[in-house]
Chain A
C-alpha cells in the first residue's frame, strides 16, 4: 500500500465482516490497479484499508512506526499456493498463519505484519475480496495487525493469479532459549497434531488428481500454544520448528544436519489421520514428506516430555505425541523405526514427490 499518492478525499466506509463487496468499477484486476493512480486508490481505500483497518495502518504512511518491548523476532515468507482456495482455507489465512507460526517458532508472540500482494491481471475482484476478508479474520484470530504493505499488478501470464508476501515482528518470550545450541543429546521430539492434512487437501484439487474427500487444511496459528509451552516449561523447551514445506521428514533432516545430531523416529507414534493415510496410500505419497500448515515439533528436555505431551493434549491438541528422540548415534541421519520393527533412513527428498505408476 504505497499510499503517498493517496487521494484522502475518497472516504473509507466502516468495515464489518458481513460487508458485501464494494463497487470497484471493474470485475477483475487490471494493470491500472497497480499503477498508483485512481484505480489503485479506489482498490486500497474501499478494499485493503477498509478491511484491514487499524490505527497504525490508518496513518497511511510508507511504513509503520511503533514501539516494541524486549527482544524482537522478525520473519518473512512468500505464499504461492495453487489453487488459491482449498478445503479448509485459502492463500489469505496461509499468508497470515505462516508468518505468525514462523515467529512463534522463534518463541515470539507475533504483533505486526506487513502484507504485499502481487496480483495477476484478470484476477476476479470477488476472489480478491474474499481473500482480503480471510486475511482480516486470520489476523483477528491470531491477534496481529497488518500495519504496512504494497500492491502490485503484473500482466496476465506473468503470475499465478495472486502471490502474497508477509513479514512479521513479535516480542520473544522472556523464558525462550531456543536454538541448536540448546539441544541436548537425549532430548525428546514432540509433535502437536496429525501430519500431512494440508498437502493432501491441496492435492485433492489439483488437475488430474481430483478426488472427493472431507480432508481440510490444518492451517492454524500456533503462537498461543507455543506461549503456553514456554510459560509452563521455559528453558526445557529447546527447539521449535513448524513442519511446513517438505513435511516432517525434511524438518527433521535439517535438524539432524544443522545440529550434527542423530534423530530416531518411531513410525507407530507419529499421528496420522486415517483418511489422510488412505489418500497417501492411494496416491503413492509418503505422509512424512507432505506439507503441513498447523503442525510443529518441539524438541524438549527428556524429563518434561511426558508432562509437555499431556499439556498439549489438554490444550487443544488431542493427538499430540512424543515421536522420537535425538541420539549421539548416526549423526546427521534420521532413522525411522517402522511400525513392524524394521529400521530405515528417512532422507531429504531430491525433488518433488511424484505420483507412482501402479
Chain B
C-alpha cells in the first residue's frame, strides 16, 4: 500500500535496528507519548528487537485511559436520560466509570451509538429533532478540530438538540507533569505525530529549553518509530537536546492553521483532571461561554458522580512510565480485557491491553534505566 508498505519494509527496519544498536552505549529510558505508538511497537514485535540497554516506557497518550471515571459516569447518566442518544467513539464504550460502562448502559436499553465522526452525530441530531443528542468528545488535540467543527455545524443549522460532553486533554502539559514528577526516569520523548499534525511543533520548544529535554516528533509505522528512536538516542548519546521532526511527511512545523483556528474559536484552555495522574494545570479544552449551550455539562443538570477510592489498578504508575504493564501483580491475572481493573487494559490504545493482546508470553522484563 502506497505510503504504508515502505514504512513497514523489513530491510529498512533491519538497517535502523543495526544503527540503533551501534549508537546505544549506555542505558536510556525513553517514552513514546501516544498509545498508537505503543501499540505499533508491541504489535510489530519491535520492543523485543531493541537493544537491552534501551527501555521504552509507555506514555499517557491514550485518551480513553486518562478520561476520569466521573466523566464516564456523566456520559452514562446522559445515555440513560429519557429520549437521549449518546454518541461516542468506539473505544470509550467498554470502559467502566465508578458505576457501569456505556456498553452496559446500551445492553440495558440506552441508545448508545458508536461513530467515527462527530459530524455524524450532528446529522443524527438533525434527523431526530425531538431527541437530545450528545457526543462524548474525548481525545487529544487530534480530535479537537472535528469536535469543534461539530459545534459550529450544529450552530449553523440552528440545532438546539445537539451538545458535547467534552474531556479534551493536551499533550505538552502532560509531558511537563511527567518531567516534573519526583521519580521521573524518562530522559527523552517521542512526541505524538498526529497531535503535531494539528498543533505543529513549536509548542514543544519551551519544554526542550526549560528541561534540556530531547524531543522527537514521531510517526506510527515501524520505520517511523525506529527512526524516531534513533534520532532520540543520537541526541542522548551526544549529550545534546533539541526538537526534531521525524514525521515531516505529515507534520508541518506550523501544524494545520485552519484546524487550530477552529479549536481557538470554540474552546478555552482549562485545568483538567487526568485519570490516575492528577489535575494538570492548563491541560484541557472546554467550550467557550459563547458556545455554552452546546456544552452538555452546562445544558443538563448532571449529578456529580459518587467517587469511589481508586481500586487496585496501577494506571497512574503505568501512564507516567514508572511501571511496565507486566510488572503489575494483577496483569493477566486479576486484570484482563474481559475483567479490567482499569482503563489501560480496556482501550485499544492502552499500554496494558497492548501487552495483553500482543506479547503476554514474549515480553521479558527489562530493567528500567534510571
Q: Enumerate chain A interface residues (CB-CB to B < 8 A).
A: 207-209, 274, 277-278, 281, 283-284, 330, 333, 335, 337-347, 350-351, 354-358
Q: Which residues of B contact A345 (CB under 8 A)?
A: 357-362
User: Which of B135-143, B149-157, B319-327 sits within the interface?
Assistant: B135-143
B13–A341 contact, CB under 8 A?
yes
Whether B25 sits at the interface, judged by CB under 8 Å, is: no
A357–B139 contact, CB under 8 A?
yes
Report Cα–Cα, A343/B47, bound state, in Å: 10
Report Cα–Cα, A207/B123, bound state, in Å: 11
B49–A354 contact, CB under 8 A?
no
Which single residue of chain B is at the shortest CB-CB distance from A283?
B116
Report Cα–Cα, A274/B13, bound state, in Å: 22
Whether B91 sits at the interface, judged by CB under 8 Å, is: yes
Whether B93 sits at the interface, judged by CB under 8 Å, is: yes
Q: Which residues of A contact B92 (CB under 8 A)?
A: 357
B115–A277 contact, CB under 8 A?
no
Q: Which residues of B contact A333 (CB under 8 A)?
A: 361
Given contacts A333-B361, A345-B362, contact A281 B46 (CB under 8 A): no
Report Cα–Cα, A191/B93, bound state, in Å: 34
Most buried by A among B14, B120, B142, B357: B357
B338–A351 contact, CB under 8 A?
yes
A357–B138 contact, CB under 8 A?
yes
Report Cα–Cα, A208/B87, bound state, in Å: 10
Whether B255 sits at the interface, judged by CB under 8 Å, is: no
B45–A338 contact, CB under 8 A?
yes
Report Cα–Cα, A284/B348, bound state, in Å: 9
User: Which of B1-9, B174-182, B199-207, B303-311 sits within the interface?
Assistant: B1-9
A351–B94 contact, CB under 8 A?
yes
Whether B160 sits at the interface, judged by CB under 8 Å, is: no
Whether B113 sits at the interface, judged by CB under 8 Å, is: yes
Which single residue of chain A is at the shortest CB-CB distance from B338?
A350
Taking the closest CB of chain B, its distance from the CB of A15, in whole angstroms, is 40
Report Cα–Cα, A344/B222, bound state, in Å: 14
Q: Which residues of B contact A284 (CB under 8 A)?
A: 90, 348
Which single residue of chain A is at the shortest CB-CB distance from B4?
A281
A340–B8 contact, CB under 8 A?
yes
B13–A340 contact, CB under 8 A?
yes
B1–A277 contact, CB under 8 A?
yes
B63–A339 contact, CB under 8 A?
no
Chain B residues 1 to 30 lying within 8 A of chain A, measured CB to CB, are 1, 4, 8-10, 13-14
Chain A interface mostly: loop
Q: Which residues of A contact B140 (CB under 8 A)?
A: 358
A341–B45 contact, CB under 8 A?
yes
Whether B285 sits at the interface, judged by CB under 8 Å, is: no
Q: List 28 A-B contacts (CB under 8 A).
A: A208-B87, A208-B113, A208-B120, A274-B1, A284-B90, A335-B362, A338-B45, A339-B8, A340-B9, A340-B45, A341-B14, A341-B49, A342-B46, A342-B47, A343-B45, A344-B359, A344-B362, A345-B358, A347-B356, A347-B358, A351-B337, A354-B93, A354-B114, A356-B90, A357-B92, A357-B349, A358-B63, A358-B140
Q: A342-B45, A355-B90 are in contact. List 20 more A-B contacts (CB 8 A).
A: A208-B116, A330-B361, A339-B8, A340-B9, A341-B49, A342-B222, A344-B42, A344-B43, A344-B359, A345-B357, A345-B362, A350-B336, A350-B338, A351-B337, A354-B93, A356-B36, A357-B90, A357-B92, A357-B138, A357-B139
A358–B94 contact, CB under 8 A?
no
Taking the closest CB of chain B, its distance from the CB of A276, in whole angstroms, is 11
Q: Which of these, B13, B116, B358, contacts A355 with CB under 8 Å?
A: B116
Given contacts A274-B1, A357-B138, contact A344 B143 (CB under 8 A): no
Chain B residues 60 to 112 lying within 8 A of chain A, measured CB to CB, are 63-64, 87, 89-94
Whether B194 sits at the interface, judged by CB under 8 Å, is: yes
Report Cα–Cα, A343/B94, bound state, in Å: 28
A208–B9 contact, CB under 8 A?
no
Q: Which of these, A330, A335, A343, A350, contacts B337 with CB under 8 Å?
A: A350
Report Cα–Cα, A333/B93, bound state, in Å: 28
B357–A347 contact, CB under 8 A?
yes
Q: Which of these, A209, A343, A356, A358, contacts B362 with CB under 8 Å?
A: A343
Most buried by B among A208, A277, A337, A357: A357
Q: Which residues of B contact A344 (CB under 8 A)?
A: 42-45, 358-359, 362
Q: Which residues of B contact A283 (CB under 8 A)?
A: 116
Q: Which residues of A contact B194 (CB under 8 A)?
A: 358
Taking the closest CB of chain A, its distance from the CB of B310, in whole angstroms, is 23
Whether B209 sits at the interface, judged by CB under 8 Å, is: no
Q: Which residues of A contact B130 (CB under 8 A)?
A: none
Report Cα–Cα, A57/B63, bound state, in Å: 58
Report Cα–Cα, A357/B89, bound state, in Å: 6
Report Cα–Cα, A357/B87, bound state, in Å: 12
Report Cα–Cα, A292/B360, bound state, in Å: 27
B44–A338 contact, CB under 8 A?
yes
A355–B114 contact, CB under 8 A?
yes
Which single residue of chain A is at the shortest CB-CB distance from B356?
A347
Q: Which residues of B contact A281 (CB under 8 A)?
A: 1, 4
Whether B48 sits at the interface, judged by CB under 8 Å, is: yes
List the 4 closest pairs (A to B, CB-CB), nearest first.
A342-B45, A354-B90, A355-B90, A350-B337
Report Cα–Cα, A240/B156, bound state, in Å: 57
Q: Which residues of B contact A207 (CB under 8 A)?
A: 113
Q: Which of these, B36, B45, B360, contacts A347 with CB under 8 Å?
A: B360
